[in-house]
Structure 1
Amino acid sequence: MKTILIVDDEPRTREGVRKVLEGWSCGRHRIETAASGVEALEWLAHNDANLLITDIRMPQIGGLDLVERLGELAHPPVVIIISGHPEFDYAQKALQFGVVEYLLKPIDKKKLVAAVETALKREENIHRIERMEKLVDPKLLDAAQEERAYGPQVQEAVRYLNERLDQSVTLKDIADHLHMNASYFSVLFKEQTGMTFSEFLTRRRVQRAKELLAGTRLTINEISERTGYQTAKYFVKVFRQLEGVSPGQYRKSVTEAGETIQ
């Protein structure tokens, strides 16, 4: 259930927007209201909102000041501004802050609903991108983009490794597979990938673990086995060192918004 927070110091407008959105939502979304920017910030300090609809002119903290303060939140909502004044400067600044829509009073009900639907789609896209950023290791992504430039031996090493992430694989195992001297292969691998074999292996295993945490209901023990770790305790230690959170915390962060787990 997504949450929409309506902020306006005028009770008539605030309640009018609330009633329109409650009728449109039919219980699919949680609709909250605040009578001032101060009240809105207090509410946001303890709650998350997916969409903020705010008047631009309010005492103490105006709409644009409120939007600027949203950057301090861990998960800032997308924003729709409503105003009784068609000032160009306000609209221009609102767009600079990434505001989705600028609606003028009196508010057209159809335009309000259309703006809300657009804003919630934008919020979903932002969340999807954030989730993908959590899922993908940037160093591995850079390495994958350069993979075509690798020599045939390093390409074969990466392929061989990816097929055996659930097994105990050493640098010597791959060097023997390639009929190469282990020391020479180690230098060659780092030159072409920018990572030591050990770092690449660890990042690739953790990447696989992230995919399994986000997309399956496998236990931490099962995932540690599928990513080549002999004990779950060591797997958790390595994962935390690389990601800054435990596997369980990571799973919660990428699934808490309700993505389906197969």
Structure 2
Amino acid sequence: MERTYTLMLVEDERNILYGMKNAILCHKPQVTDILTAENGREALELLEERVPDIIITDIRMPEVDGTELVRRIREQGYEMPVIILTAMTDFAIARDLIHYQIQNYIVKPFSIEEILKETEVAIGELKKRSQMKMAQKIVKEFPELVETPPSSENQLISQAVEYISSHLDGAASLNDISGALHVSKAYLSTLFKREMNTTVTDFVTKQRMKEAKKLLLETDMLVSEIYLKVGYQSDKYFIKVFKEMEGVTPLAYRKRWK
């Protein structure tokens, strides 16, 4: 299931404020909740209750303006994408906020298309951050998932390992590998066991499970998509093998770590 996002709109002109809100809710289904504030003070009060994923704020507002709002947001450690709305006459002021890592500036009068485009860019940035965070977590907590498959100085076995790595989603049986390398099954089986200290079948299974775990952690793919991606023709058999190796079902594994 795709993640949804909360957005905060800060604008003292109500017709603009609610026009943006309605347009985003109508055209961006990923945004399911929009918080509204008519000045920076209201926005800061809202932040104490809920932290949005994205903020779109005007610069010129009463009480606490957009400049002060952005400064205080960053000082409090919030890193969400911030989009600035500014009149051309205030652009020099808005540009001084660049060191606060502003996503972009939209100059008034603006079109709804510009708002929707920048909202989509912000969602893309959040997805990218999430993927990077998950990748860092995997490297730290699951180093075995990012390690390259064990290799051998024997050229034939190296070729076999390379074949397996590139055919996890398809035919990677002993018969397939020996046929591709033009050697007998018996010879390849004996040599593989001696060099790798495991059977071809067990090695293939471990590599497929490793890839399945990466997909469970790094993506939102369904189990019904993952089992095909790692070369299984039956979801029940895939789940059975996964549980035998990991002690939990694929969905429980994802829920536990993600």
1:155 corresponds, among 139, 155, 159, to 159
Residue 70 of structure 2 is matched in structure 1 by 63
8 A Cα contact 2:86 2:94, kept in partner: no
Residue 4 of structure 1 is matched in structure 2 by 7
Question: Kindly, what percent of the aligned residue pairs are identical?
Answer: 12
CA distance in 2, matches of 1:206, 1:224: 18
Q: Of the two, which has the highest radius of gyration?
A: 2
Matches within 5 A, 1:1-262: 2-8=5-11, 12-13=12-13, 15-25=14-24, 27-29=26-28, 30-34=33-37, 35=39, 36=41, 37-45=43-51, 48-49=52-53, 51-55=54-58, 58=64, 62-67=69-74, 69-71=77-79, 76=80, 78-83=81-86, 85=90, 86-87=92-93, 90-94=96-100, 97=101, 99-103=102-106, 107-110=108-111, 113-124=113-124, 126-127=126-127, 130-131=130-131, 134=134, 143=148, 151-160=155-164, 162=168, 177-180=188-191, 182=193, 184-186=195-197, 202=206, 204-209=208-213, 211=215, 214-216=220-222, 218=224, 225-226=237-238, 229=241, 232=243, 235-237=246-248, 246-249=252-255
Deviation at 1:63, TM superposition (A): 1.3
Alpha-carbon displacement from aligned partner over 1:23-82 (angstroms, at most 9, x marks no partner) = 53463454321343422322434xx43x311245727962133145223xxxx4x22023
Alpha-carbon displacement from aligned partner over 1:196-219 (angstroms, at most 9, x marks no partner) = x98x96464142255478433549
Gapped runs of 5+ residues in structure 2? 175-184, 228-233
8 A Cα contact 2:164 2:172, kept in partner: no
Q: In the comparison of the two structures, how many residue pairs are matched?
A: 210
Alpha-carbon displacement from aligned partner over 1:70-107 (angstroms, at most 9, x marks no partner) = 23xxxx4x22023563227624314xx1x222245xx3
Calculate the aligned-residue CA RMSD, in Å: 5.1
> Which residue type is aligned with residue 7 of structure 1?
V
8 A Cα contact 1:6 1:54, kept in partner: yes
> Which residue type is aligned with residue 62 of structure 1?
L
Where 2:26 maps in the other structure, the secondary structure is coil
> Which residue type is aligned with residue 221 of structure 2?
G
8 A Cα contact 1:55 1:82, kept in partner: yes
* Compared CA separation, residues 232 and 184, structure 1 to 2 (3 A): closer
Deviation at 1:133, TM superposition (A): 7.4
> Which residue type is aligned with residue 117 of structure 2?
E
